[in-house]
Amino acid sequence: MAHVIAVVNQKGGVGKTATTANLAWSLVAAGHSCLAVDLDPQGSLTISLGFDPDAQTGHTIYEAMVLPADHPHHHALTPLPVDIMGLALVPANLDLAAAELDLNAQYQREFALKRALTPIRSTYDFILIDCPPTLGILAINALAAADAVLIPVGTNYLSLRGLQLLLRSIRLTQQHMNPTLEILGIVGTLYDRRMAHHQDVLQELRKIFPPQGIHVFDSVIARSVRFEEAAMTGRPVVDYAPTNPGAEGYRLLAQEVLTHYGAG
Ligand SMILES: Nc1ncnc2c1ncn2[C@@H]1O[C@H](COP(=O)(O)OP(=O)(O)OP(=O)(O)O)[C@@H](O)[C@H]1O
Ligand SMILES: [Mg+2]
């Protein structure tokens, strides 16, 4: 059975998509099969892994998750093979923006993603879900479907704000929908060691969260222009620029995740 990990933070631009793509790739490179699920109508993960979101209509997460089973365009998930053996992608595009409305009419709408993933859960070692920057019905579906939450946090001051709101949503999900959901941990992203306040934020993270029982990963993801370049070429940094410190950070994160699951 796959370990299902939702990569969540309602703050935009903190590296959720970069984390999903690079962690997925690194887990596969370490010998574990992985399905990456794009749950963001922006389709950034789809682009980062080399696909054109606009060309995917008909077999995105939207048709599998939102359209009822008796709808003519409903389909069971058929992930696309990505450019490394063992990695697959369920794409997304703007069609998913209609999910909020469409799901409204559905019975147990918080569990639509969980239902869609059930038939393929035993196919992969890991399923990583890239969430949109909101705490709406899509992110709630990810929390309901996941075993664990991975929270990328930018190491600039403003990134700490809003984390309490996210943790509250996670607690509510645990209470009402998914009692076994665990917080895998927080990973510091966009880190620039030349910036004193980035070091301060990192220290703050390490001071505040472990006493609350929330793990903060040793791996920290360095900021680098290579990330933008990589995303434009449709490859994650771990493949595009493997010696980049950001790539190194994601490989270490994959090792830490594998150790957590006793697979390292
Ligand atoms: N370590 C990094 N160094 C430099 N740039 C990065 C890094 N990680 C991500 N980026 C870039 O920062 C931008 C935001 O990253 P990303 O898309 O991963 O964040 P996100 O949290 O998924 O954003 P959104 O909330 O819009 O979904 C992108 O242009 C990405 O290429
Ligand atoms: Mg994103």
**Residue 260's pLDDT is what?**
97
Two tokens, residue 253? 């994160």
Phi then psi dihedrals of residue 225, to 5 deg: -65, -15
End-to-end CA gap in the chain: 17
pLDDT(66) > 90: no
Query: pTM score > 0.85 for this model?
Result: yes
**Residue 18's pLDDT is what?**
98
Confidence of residue 225 (pLDDT cuts 50, 70, 90): very high
Which among 8, 9, 11, 16 is the best mutation to test ligand 1's pocket, defined by most ligand atoms within 8 Å of the CB?
Answer: 16
Q: How far are the Cα atoms of 96, 124, 177 from residue 32, in angstroms, in the given order?
A: 29, 8, 28
pLDDT(72) > 90: no
Confidence of residue 263 (pLDDT cuts 50, 70, 90): confident
**Residue 181's pLDDT is what?**
98
Phi then psi dihedrals of residue 261, to 5 deg: -90, 10
Q: Which fold has domain 3-260?
A: Rossmann fold (3.40.50)
Residue 70 Cα to ligand 2 middle (Å): 31
Decide: helix, strand or coil at residue 18: helix
Q: CA–CA separation, 83 vs 178, rounded Å?
A: 33
Residue 228 Cα to ligand 2 middle (Å): 13
**Residue 162's pLDDT is what?**
86
Which strands make up the sheet holding 87-90, listed edge to edge? Answer: 80-81, 87-90, 34-38, 126-130, 3-7, 148-154, 182-191, 216-222
Confidence of residue 139 (pLDDT cuts 50, 70, 90): very high
Q: Measuring from each residue's beta carbon to the nearest atom of ligand 1, which residues come in under 6 Å?
A: 12-18, 40, 44, 133, 189-190, 221, 223-224, 227-228, 231, 246
Residue 190 Cα to ligand 2 middle (Å): 14
**Residue 69's pLDDT is what?**
75
Nearest one of 194, 189, 188, 247 to 223, comparing CA atoms: 189
Helices (H), the chain: 16-29, 44-48, 61-65, 99-104, 112-117, 137-145, 163-176, 196-208, 226-233, 237-240, 245-260
Strand pairing report for 34-38 and 87-90: parallel
The residue contributing the CA closest to ligand 1 atom 14 is 13
pLDDT(233) > 90: yes
Q: CA–CA separation, 152 vs 183, rounded Å?
A: 12
pLDDT(105) > 90: no
Decide: helix, strand or coil at residue 126: strand
**Residue 112's pLDDT is what?**
95
Which among 38, 44, 194 is the best mutation to test ligand 1's pocket, defined by most ligand atoms within 8 Å of the CB?
Answer: 44
pLDDT(264) > 80: no
Confidence of residue 14 (pLDDT cuts 50, 70, 90): very high
Mean pLDDT across 196-222: 95
Mean pLDDT across 47-57: 96
The residue contributing the CA closest to ligand 1 atom 5 is 227
Counting ligands in written order, the one closest to the CA of 241 is 1
Give the number of the atom of ligand 1 that is nearest the alpha carbon of residue 246. 1
Give the number of the atom of ligand 1 that is nearest the alpha carbon of residue 231. 31
**HEC profile for 187-239?**
EEEEECCCCHHHHHHHHHHHHHCHHHCCCEEEEEEECCCHHHHHHHHCCCHHH
Question: Domain extents for the chain?
Answer: 3-260
Counting ligands in written order, the one closest to the CA of 135 is 1
* Between 99 and 113, the higher pLDDT residue: 113
* Between 58 and 40, the higher pLDDT residue: 40
Mean pLDDT, rounded, of the chain: 94
Q: pLDDT digit string (tens) for 141-180?
A: 999 999 999 999 999 867 788 899 999 999 999 999 999 9
Confidence of residue 232 (pLDDT cuts 50, 70, 90): confident
Phi then psi dihedrals of residue 80, to 5 deg: -90, 135
pLDDT(245) > 90: yes
Nearest one of 195, 191, 185, 176 to 244, comparing CA atoms: 191
Q: Provide the percentage of residues in the chain whose pLDDT is more than 70.
A: 99
Mean pLDDT across 10-21: 97
Give the number of the atom of ligand 1 that is nearest the alpha carbon of residue 18. 18
Helix pair 245-260, 226-233: axis angle to 10 deg = 80
Two tokens, residue 130? 């890239």
**Residue 116's pLDDT is what?**
94
Q: Provide the percentage of residues in the chain whose pLDDT is more than 90.
A: 85
Residue 19 Cα to ligand 2 middle (Å): 9
